[in-house]
Structure 1
Amino acid sequence: MKTVVAFLLLFSQVFALNDEVLKHVKKFNGFNLGHLHNVTSANNKFSASLYKTIAEANGDENVIISPVSIDVGLALMYLGAGGRTAQQMAAGLHIPQDHISVRLGFRHLIHSLRSSNDMDLEIANKIFLQTSLNIQKGFRRAARKAFGSDARELNFQKNSEKASKIINQWVEKRTRQKISEIIEPGVITPDTKMILANAVYLKANWLTPFNSDDTKNEVFHSKTGNETIVPMMKIKTILGFKHSEELGAKVLELPYQNEVASMFVLLPDARDGISDLESKLSTVDLATLFTSLPPEEVFVKIPKFKAESAIKLKPHLQELGFKDMFDATVANFSGITGQPDLYITHVLHKAFINVTELGTEAGASTAIVIEARMWRPPPPEFIADHPFMFVIWHKKINTALFMGRLMKP
C-alpha cells in the first residue's frame, strides 16, 4: 500500500497582522474578495475548533500553533481528495466543496501574505515526491498556481536519511534556522511516497516598544497556584482594550509597526480561568471582537516569554472528523496520482514564538509641556500575571496566523 506523509510546520518569532477586510469591494489586485473571505472565514472556524482540541489534550503546557499553516497544507491535500475523503476534509476545514473557489481563495491568501512589505513574513510550500511517482498534471498545476508549491523528487525508499536531511534543511532555511529536525527518525519509511512541507516565518516590531529599563522580575501565578519569578515588561499607553463579559476576560491589542499586524492578548478574570476561556472561544466571532476594541489609555504588564510546541496533529484532526484520510483502506486521494492508493500517516506541526520589549531600533524624544493639574481616574490595568491566550491576527485578511496560550513563562 502506497503512503503519503503530510507534514506541516510553522515558526513565528514575534506576532501577527492587521487592518479590516474591505468587505464591500468586489475585487482587489485582480482577485475576487469573495473567494478570499470564504477561506479566511473557514480558517477562523477551523482554528477555534483545532485549538480547543489541542488545548484540552495538553493539560497545563504552553501551546502555540499556526492555523493558517495547517489550513494551507490540508487545503492543498483537499484538492487531490475525492469521494467521502473530500467531503470530510471540506467539512472539517469549513470550506466549500468547490475546487475553483478554494484554489482562488488560497491563491489570494498566499499572495496577500507574501505581499506584506511592512514586516518580515514568509510563507512557503514544497512537495517532496518519491522518485518516479507520477502525479496528475492538474494537481501539480493547482499546487503551483494556487499554493506556490513546486515539487522535488527524493528517493525515500533507498536513502531515507538523505531525504530527511534535505527536507529538514529546507525547513531550517525557511524559518531562519529556528526550526530543525521536523522529520525525525522513523517518520520516513519505505512506503513513503510524498511529503508536503509548509513553513511560516514572521518577525515584526512593536508600534510602541516596551522600555527594557522598565522590565522587572515579578511573580507569575500558574493555573494551579504555583508562583514563578519572570521578567515582566511594562508600558502605559493608548491601546485597543475592552472587557468581554461573554468571555470573562480582558482583551488587549498590541499593534506592530505600520499597524499591519497585531497581537491580541486575552486575559481571563480568574487566575485559573484559562480553561473556561478556551471553552468559550468557539462561540465568539474573533473578527468582530478584535475590530471592536475602543482605544483607551491602559497600564500593561506582560511577561517576556518564549514558547514552542511540537504536536502530532493526527488524533486532533480525527476528533474533528478527518477520519478517512488516515485510513489506508478507504482514503481517496485519486486527484493526486489518478489512483485511490494514497493515505496520510502523519501531520506534524512545530511552532515557536519569542516576545521581547523591542525587536527594533529605539529612538527618543523629549517635550516639556506645562499644564494645570486636572484630576483623572487612573487608567485601567492589564496585568498578565497568570495564564492567558494570544492570537496573532492578520487584519487586512481578517484571519488568525498564530494562536496559543502561555501557562508557564
Structure 2
Amino acid sequence: MFTLRFISCITALCIINACTPADTPNPEPNLPHPNSGPAYTASGHAPQHGLDLFLHVARQKQKNICLSPYSAHTALALVRPGARGETLRQIDRTIGPVETLAAQARTTSLPLELANLACIEQTLPLKPEYKQALPSGSYLSADFINHPDLERTTINRWTADRTHGRILNIIPPNVITPLTRMALINAIYTKAEWEHPFNPAKTADKPFHLENGQTTSCPTLQHTAHYRHIDSRMGEAIAIPFKKRQDKQETCLIAILPKKGTTLSQHLSTLTPADIRTIRQQLATATPRKTLLEIPKFQTETSTDLTAAFAKTGIPDACDRNKANLSGITDSRPPLHIAKILQKTYFEMNEKGIEAAAATALIAEKSLIPSAVRFDSPFIWIIADLDPETTPYFIGTLYTPAR
C-alpha cells in the first residue's frame, strides 16, 4: 500500500467540469452559440486553459488563492461576439473555441450550476447581432449613468443568488460608475461528493509544515483507497475522484506536492502550463493503487482583480482603451474597452466532498504497501477532469490550512 501525506507545500490546480445531479441530464450550457458570432480565429493554437493565468497570479500572491479559469473564460465568451480584429484573435487564443467550453459542461461528472448576466446601459445603441448572440435570458437593461450603485446592488444580489450565497459583493463600491456601459457576469457553483468519502472519525489535527519553516496544526482527512498517483520530477501528485456519472468524464481533485526540499514558491517559479498538462496526462493513464491519503480539511475565499493578469497573459488589447476593438457591440463613441475583470471564489474541502463557487465580473467602459501520501506543507490543488485538454474551473494554492 502506498501512503501519500500532503502536509507541506502543495500546488493545487482546481478544475471542475459542469454537470447536474446523477438522476438528471446535464443542461445545455448558457453560452453564446458559436455560429452567432465571428468565425473562430485561433485554429492550430493550443489554449493554455487558464494555467498561465493561474501561474502568473500564484507567483505574485504567494498565499492561499483560488481562481476559476472556467468562469473567467465564460465571461470573456460573452464579450467575444462583439470583438473584432486582433482583440478577437487574442480572446480566441485565450479561451479556445466556445463550443469546447460548452462541451465540458455536458460531459463532466460534477454537479455544476452555471449562469450568465449581461447588464447593458440602456442608452448604449447595441448592434442587433450582438444582442441576439447573448445567451437566452441573460440580457438586462441598466441605468449606469444615473444609478450606478443601485445597478451594482442588483448585480451583487443576482450573483449571491446564483452561487447559493457563497459569493457576496462581486463588485465593490466605486467600480460601477456613470462611465460603465456593460457588466458581463458569470457565476459557477458546485457541490460534489467523493467517490471514496473520508471517515469523519479518522479526521484529526496533524502538523502542517509552513513555508517559513514553522509548523502549525490543522484538521487532516485520512482514507485508504485506490487512487491514481504519480511521482515525477515535477513533484508528487494524486487524483482524488468524485462520484462518476455513467458515460461522463472522470472528474477529480488533483493535488500536487513539490519535491522534498523545494518550497511551493520555488516550485511555482519554474512550473509551466505544459508541466501541469503532463501531470494530468500521467494521472489519466496511471493505474489506481491502494494508497493511504492524508490531506488537510480546509476552506478558502479569494477576491482577485484579474485585469492586469489577463492583460499580461492573453488579452492586452481588450484591456487597452487605445487598442480595444469591440466594434461588433456598438458603433458608439468613444469606443468600449474592458476596464475591470474581477473574480471572487469560495472553496471548501471536507470528509464528504467539496463545495466551490465563483463569479467573474467583466466591466466594460467607454473607453503499494500502502505507501502514504501526506500533504503536510503548502501545495497546489486542482479539481479537474482527467482529460488535460479541458479548462480548469477552479485552481488554487494552500499555504496555510487554518479555517
Query: Which residue of 231, 239, 255 maps to 1:253?
Result: 239
| 1:304/1:183 CA distance change after superposition, 3 Å | same
Equivalence for 1:366: none
Question: Structure 1 regions of 5+ residues with no counterpart?
Answer: 1-13, 20-30, 96-101, 361-376
- Structure 1 position 150, deviation (Å): 1.7
What CA deviation, in whole Å up to 9, does each residue of 1:238-258 have, x standing for no partner? 11111122x1x1111111112
Structure 1 pair 268–103 and aligned structure 2 pair: CA distance change class (3 A): closer
Structure 1 segment 199-238 matched on structure 2, within 5 A: 199-238=187-226
Determine if contact 1:136/1:335 at 8 Å carries over to the other structure.
Answer: yes
Aligned pair in 2 of structure 1 residues 65, 42: CA closer, same or farther (>3 Å)? farther
Structure 1 residue corresponding to 2:123, chosen from 128, 132, 137: 132
Deviation at 1:151, TM superposition (A): 0.5
Q: Give the C-alpha shift of residue 177 in structure 1.
A: 0.2
CA deviation after TM superposition for structure 1 residue 106, in Å: 4.1
Give the distance between the partners of 1:132 and 1:257, measured in 2 at CA: 48
Distance 1:155 1:391 in 2: 39
Deviation at 1:220, TM superposition (A): 0.5
Q: 2:329 aligns with which of 332, 336, 342?
A: 336
Task: Tell which deviates more after alignment, 322-331 or 296-305.
Answer: 322-331
Partner of 2:24: none
Residue pair 1:394, 1:401 contacting (<8 A) in 2 also? no
Distance 1:18 1:329 in 2: 37
| C-alpha displacement of 1:381 | 1.3
Partner of residue 28, structure 1: none
Q: How many angstroms apart in 2 are the aligned matches of 1:321 and 1:109? A: 21
Find the residue that maps to 1:325 and give its secondary structure: coil
Q: Counterpart in 2 of 1:297?
A: 290
Question: How much does 1:264 deviate?
Answer: 0.8
Listed as ranges, the matches of 1:311-326 within 5 Å are 311-326=304-319
Q: Are 1:153 and 2:153 an aligned pair? A: no
Using the aligned pairs only, state the percent identity.
Answer: 26
1:79-118 counterparts in 2 under 5 A?
79-91=81-93, 93=94, 95=96, 102-110=97-105, 112=106
Q: Secondary structure at the match of 1:138?
A: helix
TM-score by length of 2: 0.79
Cα offset, 1:269, TM superposition:
2.1
Q: 1:12-71, CA deviations, whole angstroms, 9 ceiling, x for partnerless residues?
A: xx973499xxxxxxxxxxx99xx99x99x955x141211111011102x10111111111
| 1:49-64 pair list within 5 angstroms | 49-59=52-62, 61-64=63-66
**Letter of the aligned partner of 1:89 in structure 2?**
I
TM-score (norm 1): 0.78
Residue 363 of structure 2: aligned partner? none
User: 1:223·1:272 contact (CA, 8 Å) conserved in 2?
Assistant: no
Instruction: For residue 135 of structure 1, report the CA deviation from its aligned partner.
Output: 1.5
Cα distance change on mapping 1:16 and 1:323 into 2, 3 Å: closer
- Tell me: CA distance 1:236–1:89, structure 2 relative to 1, closer, same or farther (3 Å): same
Shift of the 386–143 alpha-carbon distance from structure 1 to 2, 3 Å rule, reads: same
C-alpha change, 1:106 and 1:17, in structure 2 (3 Å) is closer
In 1: Cα distance, 2:273 partner to 2:17 partner = 21
Q: Which residue of 1 aligns with 2:16?
A: 16
Q: How much does 1:211 deviate? A: 0.6
Higher helix share: 1
Q: Tell me if the contact between 1:18 and 1:398 (Cα under 8 Å) persists in the aligned partners.
A: no
Is contact 2:104–2:390 with CA below 8 Å preserved after alignment?
Answer: no
Is the 1:85–1:325 contact (alpha carbons within 8 Å) kept by the matching residues of 2?
A: yes
Q: Matched residue of 1:324: which SS?
A: coil
Per the alignment, residue 263 of structure 1 pairs with 253
Question: Which of 383, 395, 400 pairs up with 1:403?
Answer: 395
User: Which whole-Å deviations, capped at 9, do the CAs of 1:251-278 have from their partners, x for residues lacking one?
Assistant: 1111111264211111112254323433
For the residues of structure 2 that align with 1:17 and 1:72, how far apart are their CA atoms?
Answer: 13
Distance 1:322 1:181 in 2: 25
| Corresponding letter in the other structure for 2:184 | L
Do the aligned residues in 1 keep the contact of 2:77 with 2:95 (CA within 8 Å)? no
Equivalent position of 1:141 in the other structure: 132
Greater Cα radius of gyration, structure 1 or 2: 1
State the secondary structure of the residue aligned to 1:166: helix
**C-alpha separation in 2, matches of 1:399 and 1:55:** 17
Structure 1: how far apart are the matches of 2:18 and 2:324? 38
Structure 2 residue aligned with 1:277: 267
RMSD: 3.0
- Alpha-carbon contact 1:103-1:142 (below 8 Å) kept: no
